[in-house]
């Protein structure tokens, strides 16, 4: 009996180790670490850990114990929250939406700038806690009141909950700026990753609210702005670069939009895009709009693939404006406030930012663009995570702070 128990114990101990070895092997086989990235070993280690957690999530999901998003959300908030002695941080709720308010303690002779911030995480993870350090840094370094919005996400909530929560929280905040000592003429909309996409959508939606204070600027950090053309150069060039690989991206797209993953290949090929819709939107979504220096040789030809009506019926909401702010009419784009756009060279979403930059500039909207040559998706979140901070992390966060301080 003792031998049996020892064998069982050995098996239990060996399984996690074996799973980690699998994650390392998968990383070595599939991951691409561009030569421009500094400290590649750090990135490799972190990506192996991400694959390890996703592997556990898949197992627990199949055993119906815990979904992958739930596991990621549990793990991301295990760390302790660092208190900043220079800030007053208050957790509140706007209706059913949890928010966190960051206010500098020092007295001010005038109303402060306000920043509405939407976190990233692809609707799978990300939270008020995991973005606490970043929001604290923004508040302290720009002497601003920051509202971080904890929108609802997977696995319980799907499209269009993120944009609805972000819009409703923004409207509530804009109506009560005086309560928080915020100058109505200096409110900035800001978001990172999927939060950047939500920031773009909310900024457009607020144009229909003339009774609210107008936004001073929008700050979009590596945002997803469409889920239509997956043949853009950055998607082909960087689909295996951590942390946002093609597999993780499509997992988030399909789960959030409640699309069965059997349609993933059709989405990637554009088979669900009607020819007349592509004819209308290709002037904004075509790879021809990407500067030549980003279009390397050997890329596959422009999409879409042969039209599949069944795929269209299952995936047509990718054409909705709240999922593709790049498709907004010119008259909407022309009314938008000035923008600060952050893109990373080694990011699968790089070209979404480049396309939006062109759209804004074509309509006369002032754009300041920060392109981080050695950056990768999500690097800004590591700006204070020693020993896993990257030079690109600091460049990105400092560029955002510098821009906000200048307006």
Q: Which of 133, 377, 392, 393 is catalytic?
A: 377
pLDDT at residue 371 in the model: 98
Residue 238 sits at φ, ψ, to 5 deg, of -125, 25
Q: What per-residue confidence (pLDDT) applies to 142?
A: 98
pLDDT for 303 equals: 74
404 shares its domain with 342: yes
Residue 168: pLDDT over 80: yes
pLDDT tier at 302 (50, 70, 90 boundaries)?
low
How high is the pLDDT of residue 1?
Answer: 54
For 246-260, what is the mean pLDDT?
A: 96
Same domain, residue pair 89 and 58: no
* Neighbour-count burial for 87-119, b at 16+ CB within 10 Å, e otherwise: bebeeeebeebbbbbbbbeeeeeebbbbbbbbb
Residue 43 resides in a domain: yes
Residue 389, domain member (yes or no) = yes
Q: Lowest mean pLDDT: which of 184-188, 223-227, 287-291, 296-300?
A: 296-300
pLDDT attached to residue 311 = 97
Both 111 and 146 in a single domain?
yes
With cut-offs at 50, 70 and 90, classify the pLDDT of residue 97: very high
Domain endpoint, select from 37, 66, 95? 66
Residues 34 and 113 in one domain: no
Same domain, 13 and 97: no
On whether residue 197 sits in a domain, the answer given is yes
Retrieve residue 87's tokens.
């800030």
71: in domain: no
> 351, 347, 380, 343: which is closest to 238 by C-alpha?
347
Does residue 58 share a domain with residue 106? no
Structural domain harbouring 331: 85-407
Q: Which of 129, 347, 352, 374 is catalytic?
A: 347
| Cα gap 111→211, rounded to integer Å | 20
Q: Which residues contact 40 (CB under 8 A, 6 or more apart)?
A: 33
Answer yes or no: do 211 and 285 share one domain. yes
Average pLDDT over residues 172-188: 98
Name the band, by pLDDT with cuts 50, 70 and 90, for residue 378: very high
Task: Please tell me the predicted confidence (pLDDT) of residue 123.
Answer: 94
Residue 111, both tokens: 């109303």
Highest mean pLDDT among 16-20, 51-55, 358-362: 358-362
Question: Does 193 fall in a domain?
Answer: yes
255 lies in the same domain as 323: yes
173's CB contacts (< 8 A; 6+ apart) are 94, 99, 114, 116, 147, 180
Give how many domains the chain has, as a whole number: 2
pLDDT band at residue 262 using 50, 70 and 90 as cut-offs? very high
Whether 377 is catalytic is: yes
* Assigned domain for 73 exists: no
Least-confidence region, from 8-17, 223-232, 241-250, 272-281 = 8-17
Same structural domain for residues 315 and 346? yes
Cβ(215)–Cβ(188) below 8 Å:
yes
Mean predicted confidence (pLDDT) in 270-278: 96
- pLDDT for the residue numbered 30: 95
pLDDT of residue 94 exceeding 80, the answer is yes
Would you state the pLDDT for residue 17?
87
Q: What is the rounded average pLDDT for all residues in the chain?
A: 94
Please indicate whether residue 172 is annotated as part of the active site: no
Q: Which of 193, 343, 392, 393 is catalytic?
A: 193
Residues 6+ apart with CB under 8 A from 257: 158, 159, 227, 315, 317, 318, 323
Average confidence (pLDDT) over 80-104: 95
pLDDT above 70: residue 6:
no
Out of 19, 37, 66, pick the residue that ends a domain. Answer: 66
Do residues 159 and 270 both lie within one domain?
A: yes
pLDDT over 90 (residue 77): no
Question: Given the structure tokens 């900024």, which residue do they identify?
Answer: 203
CATH number for the domain spanning 305: value is 3.40.50.1820
Question: Quick check: is 91 in a domain?
Answer: yes
Task: Give the pLDDT score at 347.
Answer: 98
| 28 and 159, same domain (yes or no) | no
**183 pLDDT more than 60:** yes
Question: Would 78 be classed as within a structural domain?
Answer: no
Least confident of 4-8, 307-311, 367-371: 4-8
pLDDT band, residue 93 (cuts 50/70/90): very high
Is 100 found in the same domain as 9?
Answer: no
Question: According to the model, what pLDDT value does residue 12 have?
Answer: 52
Average pLDDT over residues 164-177: 98
Using one digit for the tens of pLDDT, what is the confidence trace for 193-234? 999 999 999 999 999 999 999 999 999 999 999 999 999 999
Q: Is the pLDDT of residue 300 over 80?
A: no
Judge if the upstream peptide bond of residue 349 is cis by omega within 30 degrees of 0: no
Q: How far is CA 374 from CA 34, 119, 350, 371, 402, in A?
A: 9, 22, 12, 9, 19
Q: Say if residue 307's pLDDT is above 90.
A: yes
Cβ(375)–Cβ(346) below 8 Å? yes
Q: What is the pLDDT of residue 2?
A: 57
């Amino acid at each position: 009996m003792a031998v049996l128990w020892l064998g069982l114990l050995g098996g239990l101990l060996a399984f996690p180790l074996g799973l980690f070895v699998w994650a390392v092997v998968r990383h070595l086989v599939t991951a691409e670490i561009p030569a421009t990235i500094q400290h590649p070993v750090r990135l490799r280690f972190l990506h192996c850990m991400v694959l390890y957690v996703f592997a556990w999530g898949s197992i627990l999901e199949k055993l119906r114990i815990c979904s992958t998003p739930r596991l990621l959300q549990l793990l991301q908030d295990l760390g302790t929250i660092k208190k900043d002695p220079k800030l007053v941080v208050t957790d509140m709720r706007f209706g059913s939406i949890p928010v966190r308010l960051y206010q500098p303690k020092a007295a001010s002779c005038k109303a402060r700038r306000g920043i509405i911030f939407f976190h990233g995480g692809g609707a799978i993870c990300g939270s008020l806690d995991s973005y606490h350090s970043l929001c604290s840094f923004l508040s302290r370094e720009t002497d601003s009141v920051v509202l971080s919005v904890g929108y609802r996400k997977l696995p319980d909530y799907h499209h269009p909950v993120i944009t609805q929560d972000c819009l409703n929280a923004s409207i509530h905040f804009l109506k009560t700026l005086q309560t928080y000592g915020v100058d109505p003429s200096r409110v900035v909309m800001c978001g990172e990753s999927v939060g950047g996409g939500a920031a773009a959508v909310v900024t457009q939606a607020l144009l229909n609210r003339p009774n609210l204070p107008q936004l001073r600027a929008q700050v979009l950090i590596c945002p997803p702005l469409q889920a239509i053309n997956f043949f853009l150069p950055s998607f082909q060039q960087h689909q295996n670069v951590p942390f946002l690989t093609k597999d993780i991206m499509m997992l988030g797209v399909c789960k959030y939009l409640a699309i069965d993953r059997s349609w993933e290949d059709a989405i990637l090929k554009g088979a669900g895009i009607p020819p007349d819709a592509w004819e209308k939107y290709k002037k904004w979504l075509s790879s021809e709009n990407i500067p030549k220096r980003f279009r390397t040789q050997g890329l596959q030809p422009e999409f879409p693939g042969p039209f599949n009506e069944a795929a269209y019926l299952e995936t047509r909401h990718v054409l909705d404006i709240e999922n593709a702010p790049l498709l907004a009419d010119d008259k909407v784009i022309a009314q938008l406030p000035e923008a600060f756009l952050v893109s990373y060279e080694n990011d699968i979403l790089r070209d979404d930012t480049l396309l939006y930059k062109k759209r804004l500039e074509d309509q006369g909207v002032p754009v300041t663009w920060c392109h981080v040559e050695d950056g990768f998706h999500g690097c800004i979140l590591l700006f204070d995570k020693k020993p896993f901070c990257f030079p690109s992390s600091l460049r990105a966060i400092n560029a955002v702070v510098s821009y906000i301080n200048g307006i």
